[in-house]
Amino acid sequence: VPIPVTFLGGESGAWRVTRIDAVVGAALPSVARLEMVEGPFPGSTPAAWVLRGVTSNQRYTTAGEQTALAATQAPLGRPGATRAALIPITKSERWWALSQDQRREVVEETSHHIAIGLEYLPTVARRLHHGRDLGEPFDFLTWFEFPPEGADAFEALVDRLRSTPEWDFVEREIDIRLDR
């Protein structure tokens, strides 16, 4: 069942913002704190910015990959997972013009996104939210939680993914780091 999720950047929220980097494209205003709200999208909020997405079914995974992911993934909200990253991403029109099989080819056969990602489970817990069909500025809101001991590994993961052919299609990416 898809869950609507709202990320509110502002003066309040469970997560403290430690840095916001515009990796590609326009930045987001800097804020002190972030709140993640799961459930129906809130109406008016006092936040400086509001990003919305919905969870969804998988698009690209094979049955074998889904089994491997399910066997190793960790849930969100682990008490020791006091670090987080919200990485909103938009891909280019060239990406969206590809067919499903061409996109799968880029994501996994040439970029090994899922195989690389699996190496970092269960240290890193993740959830993918889709914004494109909501008319949101970001196609994806990617969310990750990990313990402080996993911070170096997470950095390595992000570097590896950003150097893949898949990232040639990324036209906007913001890297927001958090702790609590």
CB of 46 to ligand HEM, least distance (A): 29
The residues facing 142 across adjacent strands are 87, 128
123 residue type, one letter: T
Report how far residue 47's alpha carbon sits from residue 28's, in angstroms, rounded to the nearest whole number: 13
Asked whether 4 and 54 are in contact (CB, 8 A), the reply is: yes
Phi, psi of 113 (to 5 degrees): -55, -45
The region of 2-10, 26-34, 76-84, 140-148 touching ligand HEM under the rule CB under 6 A is 140-148
For ligand HEM, which stretch binds (CB under 6 A), given 10-18, 28-36, 44-52, 113-121?
113-121
Measured CA angle at 67 (ends 111, 115), to 5 deg:
20
In the bound state with ligand HEM, the residue whose beta carbon lies nearer, of 45 and 164, is 164
Q: Which residue, judged by CB position, is nearest to ligand HEM in the bound state?
A: 117
Per CB under 6 A, residues contacting ligand HEM are 58-61, 69, 87, 89, 91, 113-114, 117-118, 120-121, 124, 126, 128, 140, 142, 144, 157-158, 161
